[in-house]
Structure 1
Amino acid sequence: MYAGKLVEIGTVHDIFNHPQHPYTKGLLASLIKKDTNKDERLYNIEGTPPTPEEKEGGCPFVNRCDFAMKICNTQFPPEYRIQSQKVACWLHAPEREKGDVHG
Structure 2
Amino acid sequence: MAMQNERPQARRGRPRFFSRRKVCQFCVDKIDAIDYKDTDKLKRLLSDRFMIEARRKTGVCSRHQRLLARAVKRARQLSLLPFTSSHKGSFAINFRPRN
| Same fold? TM cut 0.5 | no
User: So what's the TM-score if we normalise by structure 2?
Assistant: 0.23
Greater strand share, 1 or 2?
1
Task: Give the structure-1-normalised TM-score.
Answer: 0.23
Q: Give the number of the structure whose alpha-carbon radius of gyration is greater.
A: 2
* Structure number with higher helix proportion: 2
